[in-house]
Amino acid sequence: MAAFSHVFDKTSLREYDIRGIVGKTLHPADAFAIGRVFGTIVSRAGGGRVAVGRDGRLSSPELEKSLVDGLVASGMEVIRVGCGPTPMLYFASYDQKADGAVMLTGSHNPPDYNGFKMMIGKRPFFGKDIQTLGAMAASGDVVAETKGSSREVDVSESYIERMVKDYAGGPKKLNVVWDPGNGSGGAVTERLVKRLPGTHHLINAEIDGTFPNHHPDPTVLKNLEQIIAKVKETKADLGIAFDGDADRIGVVDGEGHMLFGDQLLVVLARDVLKSHPGATIIADVKASQVLFDEVAKAGGEPLMWKTGHSLIKQKMAETGSPLAGEMSGHTFFADKWYGFDDALYSAVRLLDILARSDESLADMRKALPQVINTPELRFDCEEARKFEVIEEVKARLAADGAKVQAVDGVRVLTEDGWWLLRASNTQAVLVARAEAKTEEGLERLKALLVHQLEASGLAAPDFSGQNAGH
């Protein structure tokens, strides 16, 4: 048999996953190669069992078959958990005592995309790990072909049971709308809500890889229009939406207002800090100053960290943090849970808090300090240039004596508030954001940001009409 060797499309090896357009930059041969090399990595680390899951995309069954074939050819015992949310696959890696895990998912990308998220042992497989996998595939650095095995295991019941165990609840019977967005979390959500008290309305629960109702990204207001309408129609207490593989959550209160990821984290953190006083609560660099202030006020130790779910998980493990979150809706519980991002579990914990509280979610949101901010603004910048721009801006700010937090890009503090500029780890774009206490202050912050971009020869993004209350 010919020696194994495979070269991936250079755009598919990303920071946090391997991802591409099916039939163009991602093919079954890529899936086989991932299995062949990842199986080799697990084998050389002394492991032999890999859990595999897939989302509801039309291309997922074929790609999953090739992935499993590659793992089996590397001698792995493959546990196939079938179609479901990414966090169910993470759960399976613990439940089935796997040495590695691979989830086949395009997450919140358009229907023609697909990809692979991985875990090695109990940690995320990302960054240099993914580059190493690509290099090993190109050089044919794999264990000798041998015959492993594969079997199907249904972990969905164990997963649901384990989530419900952490719902203590209270006297309040909640009225909740759920929108899994036709993503892979739909079937599990339908079963989960039957175990929870209260009234539950589901929309877009059917798993459909064409996403016929709206794009499955719950952090974009346009994608929440259906759930907001249903919340108002049913006079619900809140609405909960998931992305395509249910590792990111979007929340709407009973008045139809979207909660940003950092606002949700405030609600969750206050509760977690009651049983973990003084604990470190982690949020990414894009989060509002309100979040960090409210965590401190609740007796926690707020920690600003780099954006990226793999980086956050790694930092949680280092610091022993019981809770973390990102503006993108990734929410991570290590309090009672496993430390991975899980939108379904986060929903259960949120409902548990609300069932025990005298306040509604809308009351909690309105009680937070009000600030004005821009949403996340993304604009094109060549891959080779994006990190250079950040270094140039950093140098100019240092020369000006500006107050800068340089955890991930530059977050500049002024009397008005703050502005942020960072390079995306996954795309050829720069990401900007600003937050102030007043409209006038926000305009001043935007002007500072525009000045720095122009000083590096870049046209500033269009900020017009971009302000939002928070």
Is 328 one of the annotated active-site residues of the chain?
no
Residues in the chain: 470
151 Cβ neighbours under 8 A, 6+ residues apart: 77, 78, 79, 80
Q: What DSSP letter does each residue of 389-434 carry, written as one string? A: HHHHHHHHHHHHT-EEE-SSSEEEE-SSEEEEEEE-SSSSEEEEEE
CA atoms within 13 A on the CB side of 194: 8
| Residue carrying the six token digits 């991602």 | 26
Cβ-in-10-Å burial (0-12, 13-18, 19+) of 309 comes to buried
Largest CA distance in the chain: 70
Contacts by 397-402 with C-beta closer than 8 Å and gap 24+? Answer: 397/452
Catalytic residue among 60, 74, 107, 346: 107
Please check whether residue 417 is in contact with residue 441, taking contact to mean a CB–CB distance below 8 angstroms: yes
Q: What angle do CA 35, 37, 43 make, to 5 degrees?
A: 95
The catalytic residues are: 107
